[in-house]
Chains A and B, each alone.
Chain A
Amino acid sequence: MTPESVHRSAPPVTGAQGRRTPLVLAGLGVIVLLAGVALLVRGSSGDGASTSGEAASTAHARGGSGHGGSGGGSGQGTPQAEEPPSRFEATTCWKDIERFNEAVTIGNFRDWAAPLLASRDPNVRDYLRERLTELIGNDAAKATEVLGWSRDAGPREFNVIMMALRNSEAVHQPQVAAKLLEHGMDLTLDGQRRAGILSALDTQKKLEPGMLGTLADFAKDPVSGEAGWAAARTIGRVMKRDFNEKGNLAPYMDKLLTIGTESPDEQIRYLALSMPMHTTPVMDEATYERYAKVLTTEGSPEGREAAAHNLSVSAGDDRAKTLALFAQAFAVEPDVCARWALFRFAARVSGKEALPTMANMAITDPRFQPLYQTFEAIYASGTLDFVRVWNSLPEQDPFTCLDRHE
């Protein structure tokens, strides 16, 4: 699943977390994106990006992905043991892994880990990633050495390396972060590799102006491709982290809006416009006006949707203005998914007071008549919070917008 597809659902993403907000977020599907820390980028897949927490995994059967390895069945049960259900694949246990664990070092990691990585065993791959993070620790020299491996590592090893670096303490040292940026900008590396390296910067606590500027300039560069996409995502993710620590969002917002309006790549523009959806930042007037402009000038319907989303969470005096803006935009909007965004986000702006505006939208486009009636009934029930309104909808994707790009 790509972030685009998640964003298509992009409902009321809320950022300032109240007492119970996290409970709601999960239900909105947003958590899928927030929790996803795969280093791989758009259009690609990989088998090394699993970052699932161990606790959650018990509740879900592992899918059909093959584990390989030699473990083909229990084979070691007691004579009375039951035959295991055939739908579950056996896990792999590794002889001598205890000694691997105790004696592995940065110096021998690549050689020693090679047979484990070759096995396609997801459990041992998760372990290798975390063990390498431990080995790097807070040592900048070790982190730099490991980063050097990324130049010639195969896909699976590359993933382990970058995730390990990303989660290490050392990645927060300025010289390590600078090295990552330098490698990410290295034109001799292929785009996917550079994307992975730039993604490993997304655990930074904040981006200083120099690094932010470099990432942003690169992201809007016409030739940046998937590495540029990763750079934009890194800016958005660090912004969210910084926001949660009460940081100043203005520089990030400015850069994301610049990328979102200047990049010739539609997917990068959309990503940049949609990343603020996860922080619900308070906008100043200039930012509001820039998003308002995007609402009518952006070429991709997804970008226009993202703008509608961001405008819908602006506070205070702009509400009537935003509602009028949405009404005007709806009338000329050719895309039904973007219209659906304007329709539902009108409710997000003004609640039941938006119903007359929504009724007019439904007159303009009769496909929205049943939706209007649904919203009307929900508000009549006494529901106030838009998150609850959203969760009360019998169909959250009435125009099949969610899968449009899959």
Chain B
Amino acid sequence: MIRTPSLPLRALGLAALLHLVPTVASAQAASSEPAPALRAEACSVEGLMDSIRRGLGSKSAAYRKYLRTLLRESAVTLPEAELRAAYERETDPVMAEHLAAALVARTERGADPAAMGVVAKRILDERDPALRVASLRALRRTSATENTGDLYERLARDASPEVRQEAATNLIEDNQFVYSGHHGPAADAAVTSAAASPDPKVTARILDSVSTEHISAESGERLKSLLRSDDASVRAAAANALGGVPAEQMAGSREALLAMYRDEPDAGVRKMLLQSIAQLGFAGAIPDLQRLRGVDPSLAPEVDAWIRALGLGLQEWSLILREKQRLQQAP
């Protein structure tokens, strides 16, 4: 996750602005300067914060990344109370994100189980959406999905669309990068949050992106309920997600998808239904697809493409997708 912090001047304090002046000046005088007197020293919260505030003005993305990495890597050996106090009083979103990341790192490394909770609490209590977003980013690709209670379910209902989207990103990236799509509880948390959100974009984005390979039966039922959503993108995403459910849920999912195909008014949703029916049955789905072929003549070529790809007898979904694409691209 490499982010280039923007420089929201409005949000920067006067002290930070003043610090920028010598930085710029030193760059102009670069050619004639003697070598810097580099000396290793112990890191401190105050020293790192000063460096980061000044470093925000650097043109070097490498340097900005170095500073925020250094703060996070230092977090486990910095005084907890000092770090926490600095975070709680910080009102610049960029700095708040760095400090939150440092606190989260303390929990992730087993140095301080409560530190992540400090960040979660501030997200819930914070009135400024920009600061909620900043702290949320610090929870990304961590164990927060499992260790912050119903935080994400609540954030999926946040008044701010930016916060809702950031929460969705966390759920997606936690499932993908922390759990590799193989952890049922994390996937269940994502499905629960998706279902809880009144924002169709959030619901659809989560369901389109999270592996449902290990979801619970309860989550499977939630997905089936979402097939009845008024929003076509949510119906399509729920259909998509149902294509990847565990073996014991496959038959029920297949029935649910087949049952809605004829009455589904949206072509995009129908296309996704075909895909998930294919995924749930592999070559065994061919008879179902043949039965559905006449329902919507505009999708007959799509059905045919699936039948041809599945007919190859490949045993991996990714290979079936590869072959379908190849067959459709063939002259």
Query: Which of chain A's residues have a CB closer than 8 A to the CB of B299?
Result: none
Q: Tell me which residues across on chain A come within 8 A of B80, comparing CB atoms.
A: 81-82
B256 beta carbon closer than 8 Å to chain A: no
Alpha-carbon distance A24/B319, docked complex (angstroms): 13
Q: Does B300 contact A (CB under 8 A)?
A: no
> Are the C-beta atoms of B177 and A26 separated by less than 8 Å?
yes
Q: Which residue of A96, A347, A387 is within 8 Å of B38 (Cβ)? A: A96
Contact of A75 among B33, B42, B110, B325 (CB under 8 A): B42
Q: Are B180 and A99 in contact (CB under 8 A)?
A: no
Does B205 have its Cβ within 8 Å of any Cβ on chain A?
Answer: no
When distances are taken between beta carbons in the complex, the residues of chain A under 8 Å from B54 are 98
Q: Is the CB of B318 within 8 A of A17?
A: yes
**Judging by beta carbons under 8 Å apart, are A16 and B321 in contact?**
yes
Which residues of chain A from 119 to 178 have a CB within 8 Å of any chain B CB? 119, 121, 123-124, 126-127, 130-131, 133-134
CB of B82 within 8 A of CB of A134, answer no
Expressed in whole angstroms, the minimum distance between the Cβ of B184 and any Cβ of chain A is: 13
Decide: B248 and A382 in contact? CB cutoff 8 A: yes
The SS class assigned to the B binding surface is helix
Interface membership of chain B positions 64-84, coded 1 if the CB is closer than 8 angstroms to chain A and 0 otherwise: 011011101110111111100
Is B36 an interface residue, CB under 8 A from the partner?
Answer: yes
- In Å, the complex CA distance between A269 and B46 comes to 55
B23 touches A62 (CB 8 A): no
Stretch at the interface among B138-146, B225-233, B263-271: B138-146
Q: Are B43 and A97 in contact (CB under 8 A)?
A: no
Query: Are A82 and B70 in touch, CB under 8 angstroms?
Result: no
Residues on B with beta carbons closer than 8 Å to the beta carbon of A316: 312-313, 323
Tell me, rounded to whole Å, the shortest Cβ–Cβ distance linking B186 to chain A: 11
Q: A26-B177, A88-B77, A350-B315 in contact; A121/B40 too (CB < 8 A)?
A: yes
Q: Is the CB of A93 within 8 A of B318?
A: no
For A390, the closest partner residue in chain B by CB is B316
Chain B 246-278, CB-CB to A under 8 Å as 1, else 0, gives 011011000000000000000000000000000
Check: B109 CB closer than 8 A to any chain A CB. Answer: yes
Is B180 a contact of A27 with CB atoms below 8 Å? yes
B316 touches A12 (CB 8 A): yes
Contact B30 A105 (CB under 8 A): yes
Residues of chain A with a CB closer than 8 A to B319's CB: 14, 16, 280, 313, 315
Establish whether residues B35 and A58, one from each chain, have CB atoms under 8 Å apart when the complex forms.
no
Stretch with Cβ within 8 A of B (4 or more), from A49-57, A200-208, A396-404: A49-57
Residues of chain A contacted by B15 (CB below 8 angstroms): none
Q: How far is the CA of A91 from the CA of B51 in the complex (A)?
A: 15
**Minimal Cβ-Cβ distance residue in B for A20:** B211
Contact with B along A105-119 (1 / 0, CB 8 A): 100100110011001
- B101 CB → nearest A CB, Å: 7
Tell me the residues in window 113-142 of chain B with beta carbons closer than 8 Å to chain A beta carbons. Answer: 140-142
Residue of B nearest to A124 (CB): B66
Question: For residue A18, which residues in chain B have a CB less than 8 angstroms away from its CB?
Answer: 317-318, 321-322
CA–CA, A349 and B313, complex, Å: 8
Residues of chain A with a CB closer than 8 A to B104's CB: 58
Interchain CB contact (< 8 A) of B23 among A82, A88, A98, A347: A98
Q: Which of B55-63, B153-161, B216-224, B286-294 has 4 or more CB atoms under 8 Å from chain A?
A: B55-63
Whether B42 pairs with A77 at a CB distance below 8 angstroms is no
Asked if B44 is at the interface of the complex by the 8 Å CB criterion, the answer is yes
Docked pose: A95 CA to B40 CA in angstroms: 6
Contact of B182 among A27, A57, A381, A385 (CB under 8 A): A27
Bound-state CA distance A20–B46 (Å) is 43
Residue in chain B with minimal CB distance to A112? B35
Nearest chain A residue, comparing its CB with the CB of B251: A382
Q: In the bound complex, how far is the Cα of B282 from the Cα of A56, in angstroms?
A: 35
Q: When A17-B318, A26-B180, A59-B143 are in contact, do A126 and B69 touch as well, CB less than 8 Å?
A: yes
Cβ–Cβ < 8 Å partners of A111 in chain B: 35
| Known contacts A58-B72, A58-B105, A131-B63; A382 and B250 CB within 8 A of each other | yes
Is there contact, CB below 8 Å, between A93 and B81? no
Determine if B196 is an interface residue (Cβ-Cβ < 8 Å). no
Residues in B with CB closer than 8 Å to A71 are 40-43
Give A127 to B63 CA distance when docked, in angstroms. 7
Please indicate the chain A residues that have their CB under 8 angstroms from the CB of B78 in the complex.
74, 77, 84
The residue from A69, A99, A124 contacting B33, defined by CB atoms under 8 A apart: A99
Decide: A103 and B30 in contact? CB cutoff 8 A: yes
Nearest CB to that of A81 among chain B residues?
A: B79
Task: Confirm or deny: A244 has a beta carbon within 8 angstroms of a beta carbon on chain B.
Answer: no
| B-side contacts of A102, CB under 8 Å | 23, 26-27, 30, 58
Question: Does B175 reach chain A (CB closer than 8 Å)?
Answer: yes
Within 8 A of B (CB), among A1-43: 12, 14-24, 26-27
Q: Tell me if A179 is interfacial: C-beta within 8 Å of chain B.
A: no
Question: Does the CB pair A88–B282 fall under 8 Å?
Answer: no
- From B41, B51, B177, contact of A56 by CB (8 A): B177
A16 and B66 form a contact (CB under 8 A): no
A364 / chain B contacts, CB cutoff of 8 Å = none
Interface residues of A (CB under 8 A from B): 12, 14-24, 26-27, 53-62, 69-78, 80-82, 84-85, 88-103, 105, 108, 111-112, 115-116, 119, 121, 123-124, 126-127, 130-131, 133-134, 280, 282, 313, 315-316, 319, 347-351, 353, 381-388, 391
Closest 3 pairs between A and B when the two form their complex, measured CB to CB: A23-B181, A16-B322, A55-B1
List residues of B whose CB falls within 8 A of some A CB.
1-2, 23, 26-27, 29-31, 33, 35-48, 51, 54-55, 58, 60-63, 65-66, 68-70, 72-74, 76-82, 101, 104-105, 108-111, 140-143, 175-178, 180-182, 208, 211, 213, 240, 244, 247-248, 250-251, 281-282, 284, 312-319, 321-323, 325-326
- In the complex, 7 of the A-B residue pairs with CB atoms within 8 angstroms, ordered by the A residue number, are A54-B69, A75-B44, A84-B76, A101-B58, A131-B63, A280-B318, A383-B247
Additional 4 contacts, C-beta under 8 A, given A101-B55, A121-B40, A123-B66: A84-B79, A93-B40, A96-B39, A382-B251
